[in-house]
Amino acid sequence: MESLTFRHTTKKPLPGSVPNAITGVVASGNLEVLLERVLPPDACEVAIETPIAGYGDVWEAVVADFVARAQPGGLRISINDGGARPDTVSLRLLQGARLMEA
Amino acid sequence: MTLAEILTSMFPDGHDVTVQDGLVSGTGPFADGRITLVGIDGDTPLGVDGALRLSRSVLDAIRAGDRAPILVAVDSDSQRMSRRDELLGLNECLAHLAKALLLADRSGHPTIGLIYGHSAAGAFIATALATRVLAALPGANPSVMDLPSVARVTKLPLDKLNDMAKTTPVFAPGLDNMVATGAVHVVLDSEKPLPRQIRDLIADLEPGDVRDRLGAERGGRPAAHDVARAVIDQAGRR
Amino acid sequence: MAGDRSARTDPDTLSWYEATARQRVTALADPSSVREFLPPTERRMSPHLPLFDLPRAFDDGIVVGEATLDGAPVLIAAQEGRFMGGAFGEIHGAKLVGLLRVALELKPKAVLILFDTGGVRLQEANAGETAIAETMRAIVDVRAAGIPVIGLIGGRAGCYGGGGLIAGTCSRLAVSEGGRISVSGPEVIETNKGAEEFDSRDRALVWRTMGGKHRRLTGGADAFCADTVSAFRRAALDLIGRAPAFDLDTLEAEQARLEDRIARFGDCHDATDVWRRLGVNDPEAVPAMDTDAFDAIVARVGEMDHDAR
């Protein structure tokens, strides 16, 4: 298993007041994303556990893209990965952010 | 110990226990009364027919109303793996046997499992693991699945699994590991007479299901007891 | 915890088979009534899977909690069949055991178990097997206290291995077409006994032998549902109201029921032989029947309703 953590500063907090949410399931080609509103409003942290080592740069790019699009300030995001493709990861992250905005 | 040796040790003055198609049933004198014996001998797989014959014996014992202890002696294979057994509802028949044993315990019949050979999977759950207290004799070999099969399913090399099995009781077959998880309460001394040891087990029966606590104390199941407690605590908090 | 709300959760249209465990619980219970115990934020994950280089799940593949169903308090457990095949690991099993134990204190209207499991998680086999035994004893205690334990079976992983034994311990079972109940899975039988005994690639054979329709027709399940959350909810409410007692009379009746089944059908080779003998005119047509047509058959054969469980 490989552990990766990415920390970002956002321009604004993610709107909404949902304290936490989860989306997705750990399965082959899938992942679960747990989002918790526990950080300062301009901070976002994404921690990933994945069984597929050596894709740190891909994760870094996917996460950076998500942070730029969603501005998820205040969120600690934890991912259990089952070997998902980058597009699935992006989709789940955006789904998760939408749940938190509700 | 073999079944014959167990019977000799349990019943020096004789008994009416019979073995047919690997299924054991009968009674013998015990303490001031009698003890009912049901079980499986000779590494026999447990299918729908056998499960219902054993459950019949257990229900008869409950109906007798004498609160006699029930000894469940097991040297079995796993559940019988066949199309016919599944077509006929093996899950119901095995569950029915387990329920009969659990009802017996609730009805005042102390139920004692005694594993003296092999047992695995559904047959183990429906018999020995459905008793109030499970004892083993040295040399017993309970398992969920043998390591070559685990290797096939997990796609891990057998060598690696063999190495892991030495330090990780949670998945590896064998008596020591089932003791560590709390499934087997105690290993008896085959050099000493069994009746006294069984009597002591009955005298020391604790209320409730202590297996997860034993698993925590013995280190074979580090988390289960805490997790079950945590669920209970959170459920009670409003 | 907000869970999967982006996905469609209208209980009338949400497929039980396709839904996640958390979606099933949310859509099955009264709206906004679910309170989860040991939710994912607590990160009670398997201590064992990392040894096998396998990913973990924050809830170890099972949701447990309390909710209301038509206003009445219930306890609910739901297995996630997509994570490790819904199999019983140490934490997974202990969450179910804890839920059943606390039922004795909380005295809910019922305990609902949403099965979706291949059986024991082999990487934690001894812990899983023991947890199954603990679960069965706890179910018996709950039933003996007069609280129905209802199993709902219609998930991807079916209800196999020790899960099948737990199902057989419940007061009542509802099953859908997709719900398979069995001890040995098709692959396990084939691996051990050969493809002549059971060809696991013959999916029609799998559904005929282990599927919801066969179980319902032979009394192995008490209700047959369409594959929607609403259908399972209606079935659960109905079954809670007519749960058998757990006592010697019930088990004597079950003994007779199962002995009778083996006497009548013990020489049948295929499920269609069983159905024909039950009085189904065109057994070959059963697998393709929709729920209404199948319900009509069940009503006509009419002998699979019983209190012997």
| Chains C and A touch each other (3 or more Cβ pairs < 8 A) | yes
CATH number of B3-137+188-205: 3.90.226.10
Q: What is the pLDDT of residues C74-108, one digit of tens each?
A: 999 999 999 999 999 999 999 999 999 999 999 99
H-assigned helices in chain C:
21-28, 90-106, 125-144, 162-167, 186-193, 203-210, 212-217, 229-240, 248-265, 271-278, 291-301
Of C124, C162, C188, the CB nearest to B125: C162
- pLDDT (0 to 100) of residue C7: 45
Query: Would you call A49 and C5 a contact, using CB atoms and an 8 Å cutoff?
Result: no
Pairing label, strands B141-143, B118-120? parallel
Confidence check: pLDDT of C112 > 70: yes
Is it the case that residue B196 has pLDDT exceeding 70? yes
Q: How many helices (H) and strands (E) does chain B have?
A: 11, 9
Which among C40, C54, C55 is the nearest to A22, CB-wise? C40
Give per-residue pLDDT as tens, B9-63.
999 999 999 999 999 999 999 999 999 999 999 999 999 999 999 999 999 999 9
In a domain, C307, yes or no: no
Domain count along chain C: 1
Q: Do C265 and B98 touch (CB under 8 A)?
A: no
For B90, name the nearest residue in chain C, comparing CA atoms only. C183
In a domain, residue C306? The reply is no
- Asked if A38 reaches chain C (Cβ–Cβ under 8 Å), the answer is no
pLDDT of residue A74: 97
Is the pLDDT at C118 greater than 70? The verdict is yes
**Considering only residues 190 to 229 of chain C, which have any Cβ-Cβ distance to chain B shorter than 8 Å?**
191-193, 197-198, 209-210, 214-215, 218, 220
Chain C residue at shortest CA distance from A3: C55
Query: Residues C10-42, buried b or exposed e (16+ Cβ, 10 A)?
Result: ebeebbbbebbbbbbbbbbbeeeebebbbbbbe
Residues from chain A contacting residue C56 (CB–CB below 8 Å): 26, 49, 80
**Amino acid symbol at B153:** V
Task: Say if the Cβ atoms of A25 and C80 lie within 8 Å.
Answer: yes
Strands A20-23 and C2-3: parallel
C103 belongs to a structural domain:
yes
pLDDT for residue C5: 46
Considering the domain boundaries, does residue C309 fall inside one? no
What's the average model confidence in pLDDT over A2-19?
Answer: 96
Structure confidence at residue C3 (pLDDT) = 53
Asked whether the beta carbons of residue A22 and residue C2 sit closer than 8 angstroms, the reply is yes
Smallest CA-to-CA distance from A22 within C33, C58, B227 is with: C58
Question: Residue C218's CB: how many other CB atoms inside 10 A?
Answer: 23
Q: Choose among A22, B216, B87: nearest CA to C273.
A: B87
Task: For residues C277-300, give the mean pLDDT.
Answer: 94
pLDDT at residue C167 is higher than 90: yes
Assess if residue C6 is contained within a domain: yes
Cβ neighbors of B190 (< 8 A, separation 6 or more) are: B1, B137, B138, B139
Residues B81-104, mean pLDDT to the nearest whole number: 97
Domain range for C204 is: 2-301
Chains that touch B (3 or more CB pairs under 8 A): C
- Measure the CA–CA gap between C210 and A98, rounded to whole angstroms: 40
Tokens 């259908």 map to which residue? C231
Do residue C162 and residue B87 have CB atoms under 8 angstroms apart? no
pLDDT digit string, tens, across residues A43-53:
999 999 999 99
Cβ contact C90–B107 (<8 Å): no
C261 in a domain, yes or no? yes
Cα C38 from chain centroid?
22
Q: Are B87 and C265 within 8 A, CB to CB?
A: yes
Nearest CA in chain A to C84: A27
Chains with ≥3 Cβ pairs under 8 A against A? C
Q: Residue C2 — pLDDT band, cuts 50, 70, 90?
A: low
Which candidate in C90, C126, C187, C205 is best for mutational testing of the B interface (most B CBs within 10 A)?
C126
d(CA A90, CA C269): 51
* A18 inside 8 A of chain C by CB: yes
Check residue C6 and give its pLDDT: 40
Query: With 80 as the cut, is the pLDDT of residue C200 above it?
Result: yes
Q: Averaged over C222-248, what is the pLDDT?
A: 97
The token pair that represents A7 in the structure block:
């920390």
Identify the band that residue C240 occupies on the pLDDT scale cut at 50, 70 and 90.
Answer: very high
Looking at the complex, report in whole angstroms how far the Cα of residue C211 sits from the nearest Cα belonging to chain B: 10
> From A81, which residue of chain C is nearest by alpha-carbon distance?
C55
Measure C25 CA to nearest chain A CA, in Å: 14
- The rounded distance, in Å, linking the Cα atoms of C216 and B74 is 33
Report the distance separating Cα C260 and Cα C263, nearest Å.
5
Render pLDDT for B113-160 as a digit per residue (tens, 0 to 9).
Answer: 999 999 999 999 999 999 999 999 999 999 887 787 778 777 888 998
| Interface touch C57/A49, C-beta < 8 Å | no
Q: Average of pLDDT values for A75-100?
A: 97
Mean pLDDT of chain A: 96
Mutate which of B57, B67, B77, B92 to disrupt the C interface (most C C-beta within 10 Å)?
B92
Q: Do B87 and C274 touch (CB under 8 A)?
A: yes
> What's the pLDDT tens digit per position in C20-70?
999 999 999 999 999 999 999 999 999 999 999 999 999 999 999 999 999
Q: Is pLDDT at C4 greater than 60 in this prediction?
A: no
Radius of gyration of chain A (CA): 12
The pLDDT of residue C248 is above 80? yes
Residues C220-245, mean pLDDT to the nearest whole number: 97
Number of A/C CB contacts below 8 angstroms equals 66
CATH number at residue C291: 3.90.226.10
Q: Answer whether B94 sits within 8 Å of C262, measured CB to CB.
A: no
Mean pLDDT over C182-207 rounds to: 92
ipTM higher than threshold 0.90: yes
